[in-house]
């Protein structure tokens, strides 16, 4: 009489089989991710030095009972307020994201609930101390490289490049205008496999 063999599968065998399949799947996904990264590089990369400048402002409260808040106007050009921030019915506010070395002008207007604003207050000029400089690198699909340099208005920055992070070469310079920023195009970048940048005042 033939023997009948009964195969038993333990929970340990099932778990081990699942683990091995899962590990193979993880390796396959990892390889696909690596291939995706190599063949679809990031289009842009930026590096900014840590920190940004801010200023705390205070103003007198309006005597009108219809005032429900204030709007702080500011800008880097004399008499030109290119930015504004709405605040609640308070008499203080903090403006952040200011660039070091630039003179900003501030003014405040009182606002009603319907959005009507008063005339601007007298202007206040604030010179942001220090120099916060940075370079942002943008790369297009055809490998054209554009550098956005920010720093102290009126200052000249040399742009240096390297392929090995050891030998740096000056490839150009920019002088920053009133906005505190300037653009520079690296026309040689498409012919190189990789390139790193830095700026020096």
The first and second tokens of residue 182, run together, are 């300037």
The pLDDT of residue 26 is: 44
pLDDT at 97: 83
Q: Check residue 140 and give its pLDDT.
A: 81
Q: How far apart are the first and last CA of the chain?
A: 95
Asked if 78 and 105 count as a contact pair (C-beta separation under 8 A), the reply is yes
CATH topology of domain 53-127: Immunoglobulin-like (2.60.40)
Per-residue confidence (pLDDT) for residue 67, from 0 to 100: 93
List the chain domain ranges. 53-127, 133-200
What pLDDT does residue 131 have? 56
| b/e sequence 44-63, b meaning 16+ C-beta within 10 Å | eeeeeeeeebeeebebeebe
Alpha-carbon separation of residue 61 from 72, 94, 110, 117 (angstroms): 13, 16, 9, 14
**pLDDT tens per residue, range 80-134:** 889 999 999 999 989 988 877 678 899 999 999 998 999 998 888 887 776 557 8
CA 8 to chain centre: 60
> What pLDDT score was predicted for residue 5?
41
Task: Quote the CA–CA distance of 58 and 54 in Å, as a whole number.
Answer: 14
91: CB partners within 8 A, 6+ apart: 58, 59, 60, 61, 70
pLDDT-flagged residues of the chain (< 50) = 1-20, 22-23, 25-26, 28-51
pLDDT given at position 30? 43
Same fold, 53-127 and 133-200: yes
Q: Taking Cα atoms as reference points, which of 125, 141, 195 lies closest to residue 163?
A: 195
pLDDT at 78: 65
* Three-class DSSP category at 158: strand
Which distant-in-sequence residues (6+ apart) come within 8 Å of 160 by Cβ?
168, 169, 170, 171, 197, 198, 199, 200
Pick the CATH number of 133-200 from 2.170.120, 2.60.40, 3.30.70, 2.40.50: 2.60.40
């Amino acid at each position: 009489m033939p023997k009948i063999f009964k195969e038993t599968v333990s929970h340990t065998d099932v778990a081990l089989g699942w683990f091995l399949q899962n590990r193979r799947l993880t390796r396959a996904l990892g390889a696909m991710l690596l291939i995706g990264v190599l063949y679809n590089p990031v289009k842009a990369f930026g590096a900014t030095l840590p920190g940004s400048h801010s200023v705390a402002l205070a103003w007198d409260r309006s005597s009108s009972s219809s005032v429900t808040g204030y709007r702080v106007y500011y800008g880097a050009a004399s008499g030109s307020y290119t930015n504004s921030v709405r605040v609640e019915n308070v008499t203080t506010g903090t403006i952040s994201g200011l660039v070091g070395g630039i003179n900003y002008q501030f003014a405040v207007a009182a606002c009603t609930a319907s959005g009507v604003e008063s005339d601007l207050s007298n202007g206040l000029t604030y010179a942001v101390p220090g120099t916060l400089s940075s370079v942002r690198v943008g790369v297009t699909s055809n490998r054209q490289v554009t550098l956005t340099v920010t720093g102290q208005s009126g200052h000249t920055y040399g742009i240096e490049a390297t392929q090995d992070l050891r030998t740096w070469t000056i490839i150009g310079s920019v002088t920053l205008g009133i906005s505190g920023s300037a653009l520079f195009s690296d026309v040689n970048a498409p012919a190189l496999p990789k390139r790193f940048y830095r700026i020096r005042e």
